Structure 1
Amino acid sequence: MSSVPDPTLTAFAGFERVAAGSRAEVIAQLRWRADAQPVFVFDDATGERLDLDLREDASAAPDGPATDEQATRGVGRPKLGVVAREVTLLPRHWDWLSRQPGGASVALRRLIDEARRVHADRDAQRASREAAYRFMSAIAGDLPGFEEAARALFAGEGTRFAELLSAWPEDVRAYLQRLAAAAWSGQ
Protein backbone atom coordinates (compact mmCIF):
# COMPACT_ATOMS: atom_id res chain seq x y z
CA MET A 1 0.00 0.00 0.00
CA SER A 2 1.54 3.31 -1.08
CA SER A 3 1.40 6.25 1.23
CA VAL A 4 0.05 9.54 -0.02
CA PRO A 5 2.52 12.40 0.53
CA ASP A 6 1.46 15.29 2.71
CA PRO A 7 -0.03 18.06 0.63
CA THR A 8 2.02 21.17 0.14
CA LEU A 9 0.47 24.51 0.94
CA THR A 10 1.11 28.13 0.01
CA ALA A 11 0.02 31.11 2.11
CA PHE A 12 -0.69 34.64 0.91
CA ALA A 13 -1.07 37.88 2.86
CA GLY A 14 -2.78 40.12 0.37
CA PHE A 15 -1.02 39.46 -2.92
CA GLU A 16 2.29 38.46 -1.32
CA ARG A 17 3.34 34.84 -0.82
CA VAL A 18 4.39 34.59 2.83
CA ALA A 19 4.80 30.85 3.42
CA ALA A 20 5.05 27.58 1.52
CA GLY A 21 5.74 23.95 2.30
CA SER A 22 4.14 21.10 4.18
CA ARG A 23 1.23 21.79 6.54
CA ALA A 24 3.55 21.76 9.56
CA GLU A 25 6.08 24.06 7.86
CA VAL A 26 3.42 26.57 6.82
CA ILE A 27 1.88 26.61 10.30
CA ALA A 28 5.32 27.20 11.83
CA GLN A 29 6.09 30.01 9.35
CA LEU A 30 2.74 31.68 9.95
CA ARG A 31 3.09 31.54 13.75
CA TRP A 32 6.21 33.69 13.49
CA ARG A 33 4.51 36.45 11.49
CA ALA A 34 4.44 39.72 13.40
CA ASP A 35 1.77 41.54 11.41
CA ALA A 36 -1.93 41.00 11.82
CA GLN A 37 -2.75 41.01 8.10
CA PRO A 38 -5.17 38.19 7.21
CA VAL A 39 -3.53 35.19 5.60
CA PHE A 40 -5.10 32.89 3.03
CA VAL A 41 -3.71 29.37 2.74
CA PHE A 42 -4.12 27.29 -0.42
CA ASP A 43 -3.62 23.60 -1.19
CA ASP A 44 -1.04 23.44 -4.00
CA ALA A 45 -2.69 20.41 -5.63
CA THR A 46 -6.29 21.64 -5.71
CA GLY A 47 -6.09 25.43 -5.34
CA GLU A 48 -8.63 25.16 -2.49
CA ARG A 49 -8.50 27.69 0.31
CA LEU A 50 -7.88 26.08 3.69
CA ASP A 51 -8.41 27.25 7.25
CA LEU A 52 -5.50 26.40 9.53
CA ASP A 53 -5.58 26.53 13.30
CA LEU A 54 -2.41 28.40 14.26
CA ARG A 55 -2.73 28.06 18.03
CA GLU A 56 0.26 26.44 19.72
CA ASP A 57 -1.85 23.71 21.37
CA ALA A 58 -3.77 22.94 18.15
CA SER A 59 -1.05 20.69 16.71
CA ALA A 60 -1.47 18.21 19.54
CA ALA A 61 -5.21 17.83 18.97
CA PRO A 62 -6.41 15.26 16.46
CA ASP A 63 -7.87 16.48 13.17
CA GLY A 64 -11.36 15.79 14.44
CA PRO A 65 -13.41 13.50 16.65
CA ALA A 66 -13.72 9.89 15.60
CA THR A 67 -17.06 9.23 14.01
CA ASP A 68 -19.29 6.24 14.59
CA GLU A 69 -18.53 5.17 11.03
CA GLN A 70 -14.81 5.01 11.85
CA ALA A 71 -15.46 3.04 15.00
CA THR A 72 -17.46 0.30 13.29
CA ARG A 73 -15.98 -2.06 10.77
CA GLY A 74 -16.99 -1.14 7.23
CA VAL A 75 -17.98 -3.39 4.38
CA GLY A 76 -15.21 -4.31 1.97
CA ARG A 77 -11.56 -4.68 2.89
CA PRO A 78 -10.76 -1.50 4.84
CA LYS A 79 -7.19 -2.54 5.61
CA LEU A 80 -6.54 -2.70 1.87
CA GLY A 81 -8.33 0.58 1.23
CA VAL A 82 -11.38 -1.10 -0.31
CA VAL A 83 -14.56 0.75 0.57
CA ALA A 84 -18.04 -0.45 -0.33
CA ARG A 85 -20.32 2.19 -1.82
CA GLU A 86 -23.53 2.18 -3.77
CA VAL A 87 -23.59 2.40 -7.55
CA THR A 88 -26.78 2.98 -9.52
CA LEU A 89 -26.89 1.41 -12.97
CA LEU A 90 -29.53 0.47 -15.48
CA PRO A 91 -30.52 -3.21 -15.79
CA ARG A 92 -28.60 -3.58 -19.09
CA HIS A 93 -25.43 -2.41 -17.31
CA TRP A 94 -25.89 -4.91 -14.50
CA ASP A 95 -26.53 -7.67 -17.11
CA TRP A 96 -23.32 -6.82 -18.92
CA LEU A 97 -21.32 -6.65 -15.67
CA SER A 98 -22.64 -10.04 -14.52
CA ARG A 99 -21.27 -11.66 -17.70
CA GLN A 100 -17.74 -10.31 -17.17
CA PRO A 101 -14.97 -12.54 -15.83
CA GLY A 102 -14.42 -11.93 -12.13
CA GLY A 103 -17.77 -10.28 -11.61
CA ALA A 104 -19.01 -6.72 -11.41
CA SER A 105 -16.35 -5.36 -9.05
CA VAL A 106 -13.43 -6.67 -11.11
CA ALA A 107 -14.97 -5.38 -14.35
CA LEU A 108 -15.65 -1.93 -12.86
CA ARG A 109 -12.13 -1.66 -11.47
CA ARG A 110 -10.70 -2.69 -14.85
CA LEU A 111 -12.87 -0.14 -16.72
CA ILE A 112 -11.94 2.64 -14.31
CA ASP A 113 -8.21 1.85 -14.50
CA GLU A 114 -8.38 1.86 -18.30
CA ALA A 115 -10.30 5.16 -18.38
CA ARG A 116 -7.83 6.73 -15.94
CA ARG A 117 -4.93 5.65 -18.15
CA VAL A 118 -6.53 6.74 -21.44
CA HIS A 119 -7.77 10.08 -20.12
CA ALA A 120 -4.89 10.90 -17.74
CA ASP A 121 -3.70 13.93 -19.73
CA ARG A 122 -7.19 15.36 -20.14
CA ASP A 123 -7.96 14.80 -16.44
CA ALA A 124 -4.68 16.49 -15.42
CA GLN A 125 -5.48 19.48 -17.65
CA ARG A 126 -8.97 19.79 -16.17
CA ALA A 127 -7.69 19.47 -12.60
CA SER A 128 -5.00 22.09 -13.27
CA ARG A 129 -7.53 24.54 -14.71
CA GLU A 130 -9.90 23.99 -11.80
CA ALA A 131 -7.12 24.49 -9.23
CA ALA A 132 -5.99 27.69 -10.93
CA TYR A 133 -9.56 28.97 -11.11
CA ARG A 134 -10.22 28.24 -7.41
CA PHE A 135 -7.15 30.26 -6.45
CA MET A 136 -7.97 33.04 -8.94
CA SER A 137 -11.50 33.35 -7.62
CA ALA A 138 -10.37 33.51 -4.01
CA ILE A 139 -7.55 36.01 -4.34
CA ALA A 140 -7.68 37.75 -7.71
CA GLY A 141 -11.38 38.18 -8.44
CA ASP A 142 -11.13 41.98 -8.32
CA LEU A 143 -7.96 42.28 -10.38
CA PRO A 144 -8.18 43.79 -13.86
CA GLY A 145 -8.79 41.22 -16.59
CA PHE A 146 -10.00 38.50 -14.19
CA GLU A 147 -12.95 37.42 -16.34
CA GLU A 148 -10.91 37.41 -19.54
CA ALA A 149 -8.14 35.44 -17.80
CA ALA A 150 -10.69 32.88 -16.60
CA ARG A 151 -12.06 32.53 -20.13
CA ALA A 152 -8.55 32.07 -21.53
CA LEU A 153 -7.78 29.49 -18.83
CA PHE A 154 -10.79 27.32 -19.66
CA ALA A 155 -10.37 27.84 -23.41
CA GLY A 156 -6.84 26.45 -23.14
CA GLU A 157 -5.27 29.68 -24.39
CA GLY A 158 -2.04 29.64 -22.41
CA THR A 159 -0.37 32.55 -24.19
CA ARG A 160 -3.43 34.80 -23.77
CA PHE A 161 -3.73 33.72 -20.12
CA ALA A 162 -0.10 34.72 -19.46
CA GLU A 163 -0.63 38.05 -21.23
CA LEU A 164 -3.67 38.85 -19.10
CA LEU A 165 -1.77 38.02 -15.91
CA SER A 166 1.22 40.18 -16.81
CA ALA A 167 -0.12 43.21 -14.88
CA TRP A 168 -1.04 41.17 -11.80
CA PRO A 169 1.14 41.07 -8.65
CA GLU A 170 4.24 38.95 -9.15
CA ASP A 171 3.57 36.32 -6.44
CA VAL A 172 -0.03 35.82 -7.58
CA ARG A 173 1.05 35.53 -11.21
CA ALA A 174 3.83 33.04 -10.41
CA TYR A 175 1.58 30.84 -8.28
CA LEU A 176 -1.18 30.89 -10.90
CA GLN A 177 1.25 29.92 -13.63
CA ARG A 178 2.44 27.04 -11.46
CA LEU A 179 -1.12 25.84 -10.78
CA ALA A 180 -2.08 26.14 -14.46
CA ALA A 181 1.10 24.54 -15.87
CA ALA A 182 -0.56 21.19 -16.63
CA ALA A 183 -3.53 22.98 -18.25
CA TRP A 184 -1.46 23.63 -21.36
CA SER A 185 0.26 20.25 -21.70
CA GLY A 186 -0.49 18.31 -24.85
CA GLN A 187 -1.49 21.39 -26.82
Structure 2
Amino acid sequence: MNADTTPSYVAFHGERLLAQGDLRNVVTAIKPLADRGEAGVLVFDAASQQVDFDLRGTLAEVLARLPANEPVADSDAPRGRGRPKLGVVAREVTLLPRHWEWLGRQRGGASVALRRLVDEARHASADTDRVRAAQEAAHRFMTVMAGDRPDYEEAARALFAGDRDKFARCTQAWPADIRDHARRLAQPAWPG
Protein backbone atom coordinates (compact mmCIF):
# COMPACT_ATOMS: atom_id res chain seq x y z
CA MET A 1 0.00 0.00 0.00
CA ASN A 2 1.40 3.39 -0.82
CA ALA A 3 1.13 6.63 1.07
CA ASP A 4 -1.43 8.03 -1.37
CA THR A 5 -4.21 5.64 -0.36
CA THR A 6 -6.38 5.62 2.73
CA PRO A 7 -4.78 3.42 5.38
CA SER A 8 -6.47 0.15 6.25
CA TYR A 9 -6.56 -1.26 9.76
CA VAL A 10 -7.32 -4.60 11.39
CA ALA A 11 -8.28 -5.28 14.99
CA PHE A 12 -7.87 -8.62 16.70
CA HIS A 13 -9.43 -9.63 19.98
CA GLY A 14 -7.31 -12.54 21.08
CA GLU A 15 -7.23 -14.96 18.14
CA ARG A 16 -10.31 -13.52 16.43
CA LEU A 17 -10.39 -10.85 13.72
CA LEU A 18 -12.75 -8.31 15.21
CA ALA A 19 -12.80 -5.58 12.56
CA GLN A 20 -11.03 -4.37 9.46
CA GLY A 21 -11.28 -1.30 7.30
CA ASP A 22 -10.79 2.39 7.83
CA LEU A 23 -9.69 3.77 11.16
CA ARG A 24 -13.09 5.10 12.22
CA ASN A 25 -14.82 1.76 11.64
CA VAL A 26 -12.16 -0.21 13.49
CA VAL A 27 -12.17 2.14 16.48
CA THR A 28 -15.99 2.04 16.53
CA ALA A 29 -15.80 -1.77 16.71
CA ILE A 30 -13.24 -1.90 19.53
CA LYS A 31 -14.72 0.87 21.70
CA PRO A 32 -17.42 -1.35 23.32
CA LEU A 33 -14.75 -3.84 24.37
CA ALA A 34 -12.72 -1.06 25.98
CA ASP A 35 -15.86 0.21 27.75
CA ARG A 36 -16.37 -3.28 29.23
CA GLY A 37 -12.72 -3.36 30.33
CA GLU A 38 -11.85 -6.28 28.07
CA ALA A 39 -8.17 -6.68 27.32
CA GLY A 40 -6.45 -8.38 24.44
CA VAL A 41 -7.46 -6.07 21.59
CA LEU A 42 -4.64 -5.30 19.18
CA VAL A 43 -4.92 -2.96 16.20
CA PHE A 44 -2.53 -3.01 13.24
CA ASP A 45 -2.18 -0.59 10.35
CA ALA A 46 -1.63 -1.66 6.73
CA ALA A 47 2.11 -2.13 7.37
CA SER A 48 1.35 -4.26 10.45
CA GLN A 49 2.56 -1.63 12.89
CA GLN A 50 0.62 -1.81 16.15
CA VAL A 51 -1.52 1.26 16.75
CA ASP A 52 -2.77 2.44 20.13
CA PHE A 53 -5.66 4.79 20.80
CA ASP A 54 -6.97 6.79 23.71
CA LEU A 55 -10.36 5.11 24.09
CA ARG A 56 -11.49 7.15 27.10
CA GLY A 57 -14.76 9.04 26.86
CA THR A 58 -17.67 8.65 24.51
CA LEU A 59 -17.34 7.21 21.03
CA ALA A 60 -17.78 10.72 19.59
CA GLU A 61 -14.90 12.00 21.76
CA VAL A 62 -12.67 9.09 20.74
CA LEU A 63 -13.44 9.61 17.04
CA ALA A 64 -12.77 13.34 17.37
CA ARG A 65 -9.26 12.59 18.67
CA LEU A 66 -8.36 10.37 15.72
CA PRO A 67 -5.84 11.79 13.27
CA ALA A 68 -7.28 13.13 10.04
CA ASN A 69 -6.63 11.07 6.89
CA GLU A 70 -4.98 13.96 5.10
CA PRO A 71 -2.43 16.28 6.68
CA VAL A 72 -3.82 19.79 6.87
CA ALA A 73 -1.50 22.57 5.79
CA ASP A 74 -1.06 25.19 8.49
CA SER A 75 -1.44 28.49 6.66
CA ASP A 76 0.20 30.38 9.55
CA ALA A 77 3.28 28.16 9.52
CA PRO A 78 6.37 29.71 7.95
CA ARG A 79 7.14 28.27 4.57
CA GLY A 80 10.57 26.86 3.91
CA ARG A 81 12.45 26.57 0.68
CA GLY A 82 11.12 24.49 -2.15
CA ARG A 83 7.72 24.49 -3.78
CA PRO A 84 5.35 23.26 -1.07
CA LYS A 85 2.22 23.69 -3.21
CA LEU A 86 3.72 21.17 -5.64
CA GLY A 87 4.80 18.83 -2.88
CA VAL A 88 8.47 19.78 -3.18
CA VAL A 89 10.26 19.66 0.16
CA ALA A 90 13.75 21.06 0.62
CA ARG A 91 16.07 18.82 2.64
CA GLU A 92 19.79 18.54 3.08
CA VAL A 93 21.81 16.06 1.03
CA THR A 94 25.47 15.42 1.78
CA LEU A 95 27.61 14.41 -1.18
CA LEU A 96 31.28 14.38 -2.04
CA PRO A 97 32.64 17.15 -4.29
CA ARG A 98 32.90 14.78 -7.26
CA HIS A 99 29.18 14.00 -6.92
CA TRP A 100 28.26 17.69 -6.84
CA GLU A 101 30.46 18.32 -9.89
CA TRP A 102 28.76 15.55 -11.85
CA LEU A 103 25.29 16.72 -10.79
CA GLY A 104 26.16 20.29 -11.77
CA ARG A 105 26.97 19.16 -15.31
CA GLN A 106 23.63 17.45 -15.81
CA ARG A 107 20.85 18.96 -17.90
CA GLY A 108 18.48 20.80 -15.58
CA GLY A 109 20.93 20.94 -12.69
CA ALA A 110 21.40 18.94 -9.54
CA SER A 111 17.75 18.79 -8.41
CA VAL A 112 16.45 17.55 -11.75
CA ALA A 113 19.25 14.98 -12.01
CA LEU A 114 18.64 13.71 -8.46
CA ARG A 115 14.88 13.41 -9.02
CA ARG A 116 15.49 11.52 -12.27
CA LEU A 117 17.99 9.15 -10.59
CA VAL A 118 15.61 8.48 -7.70
CA ASP A 119 12.69 7.83 -10.07
CA GLU A 120 14.81 5.42 -12.13
CA ALA A 121 15.94 3.59 -8.99
CA ARG A 122 12.37 3.41 -7.68
CA HIS A 123 11.17 1.97 -10.97
CA ALA A 124 14.03 -0.54 -11.16
CA SER A 125 13.48 -1.77 -7.61
CA ALA A 126 9.66 -1.67 -7.51
CA ASP A 127 9.23 -5.47 -7.47
CA THR A 128 11.97 -5.97 -4.88
CA ASP A 129 10.53 -3.20 -2.70
CA ARG A 130 7.01 -4.68 -2.95
CA VAL A 131 8.26 -8.13 -1.90
CA ARG A 132 10.33 -6.72 0.96
CA ALA A 133 7.42 -4.59 2.24
CA ALA A 134 5.07 -7.59 2.17
CA GLN A 135 7.60 -9.79 3.96
CA GLU A 136 8.20 -7.18 6.65
CA ALA A 137 4.48 -6.53 7.21
CA ALA A 138 3.68 -10.24 7.42
CA HIS A 139 6.62 -10.86 9.74
CA ARG A 140 5.68 -8.01 12.10
CA PHE A 141 2.13 -9.34 12.33
CA MET A 142 3.26 -12.96 12.75
CA THR A 143 5.73 -12.04 15.49
CA VAL A 144 3.02 -10.41 17.58
CA MET A 145 0.12 -12.74 16.86
CA ALA A 146 1.83 -16.08 16.23
CA GLY A 147 5.31 -15.78 17.73
CA ASP A 148 4.55 -18.55 20.21
CA ARG A 149 2.66 -20.75 17.76
CA PRO A 150 3.98 -24.06 16.43
CA ASP A 151 6.13 -23.68 13.33
CA TYR A 152 6.38 -19.88 13.67
CA GLU A 153 10.14 -19.90 13.05
CA GLU A 154 9.82 -22.19 10.05
CA ALA A 155 6.99 -20.03 8.68
CA ALA A 156 9.21 -16.95 9.02
CA ARG A 157 12.06 -18.70 7.22
CA ALA A 158 9.70 -19.77 4.44
CA LEU A 159 8.35 -16.23 4.16
CA PHE A 160 11.79 -14.71 3.63
CA ALA A 161 12.87 -17.60 1.37
CA GLY A 162 9.85 -17.05 -0.88
CA ASP A 163 8.56 -20.57 -0.28
CA ARG A 164 4.76 -20.19 -0.46
CA ASP A 165 3.99 -23.91 -0.05
CA LYS A 166 6.12 -24.31 3.07
CA PHE A 167 4.65 -21.10 4.51
CA ALA A 168 1.15 -22.49 3.96
CA ARG A 169 2.08 -25.78 5.64
CA CYS A 170 3.69 -24.04 8.61
CA THR A 171 0.72 -21.74 9.20
CA GLN A 172 -2.00 -24.35 8.67
CA ALA A 173 -2.46 -25.17 12.38
CA TRP A 174 -2.69 -21.52 13.47
CA PRO A 175 -6.08 -20.05 14.45
CA ALA A 176 -7.98 -19.33 11.23
CA ASP A 177 -8.15 -15.53 11.50
CA ILE A 178 -4.45 -15.20 12.36
CA ARG A 179 -3.45 -17.67 9.64
CA ASP A 180 -5.62 -16.04 7.00
CA HIS A 181 -4.42 -12.52 7.77
CA ALA A 182 -0.76 -13.59 7.77
CA ARG A 183 -1.30 -15.25 4.39
CA ARG A 184 -3.06 -12.15 3.04
CA LEU A 185 -0.15 -9.97 4.14
CA ALA A 186 2.39 -12.36 2.62
CA GLN A 187 0.59 -12.70 -0.72
CA PRO A 188 2.53 -9.91 -2.52
CA ALA A 189 5.81 -11.54 -1.43
CA TRP A 190 5.34 -14.67 -3.52
CA PRO A 191 6.92 -14.89 -6.96
CA GLY A 192 4.73 -14.87 -10.04
Give the TM-score band, short-chain normalised. Answer: 0.7 to 0.9
Amino acid at match of 2:80: G
Q: How many residue pairs were aligned?
A: 180
1:52 Cα offset (Å): 2.2
On the 8 A contact 2:10/2:19 being kept in 1, the answer is yes
Q: 1:170 to 1:62 in 2, by over 3 A?
A: closer
Q: TM-score, structure 1 length as denominator?
A: 0.88
Q: Looking at both structures, which has the greater relative contact order when contacts are Cα pairs under 8 Å and sequence separation is at least 6?
A: 1
Distance in 1 (CA, whole Å) between partners of 2:62 and 2:151 is 40
1:62 Cα offset (Å): 6.5
Residue correspondence of structure 1 range 1-187 to structure 2 within 5 A: 4-33=4-33, 36-44=38-46, 46-55=47-56, 56=59, 57-61=61-65, 63=67, 71-186=77-192
Distance in 2 (CA, whole Å) between partners of 1:159 and 1:169 is 18
> Which ranges of structure 1 fall in alignment gaps of 5 or more residues?
none
- Per-residue CA deviations over 1:80-119 (Å, capped at 9, x if unaligned) read 2111111122222111111111111111111111111121
Q: What's the secondary structure of 2:107's corresponding residue?
A: coil
On the 8 A contact 1:6/1:23 being kept in 2, the answer is no
> Which ranges of structure 2 fall in alignment gaps of 5 or more residues?
none
On the 8 A contact 2:10/2:21 being kept in 1, the answer is yes
On the 8 A contact 2:14/2:40 being kept in 1, the answer is yes
Q: TM-score, structure 2 length as denominator?
A: 0.85
Distance in 1 (CA, whole Å) between partners of 2:139 and 2:123 is 25
Distance in 1 (CA, whole Å) between partners of 2:7 and 2:157 is 28
1:53 Cα offset (Å): 2.6
Distance in 2 (CA, whole Å) between partners of 1:62 and 1:141 is 30
Amino acid at match of 1:94: W
1:74 Cα offset (Å): 2.1
RMSD: 2.2
Amino acid at match of 1:12: F
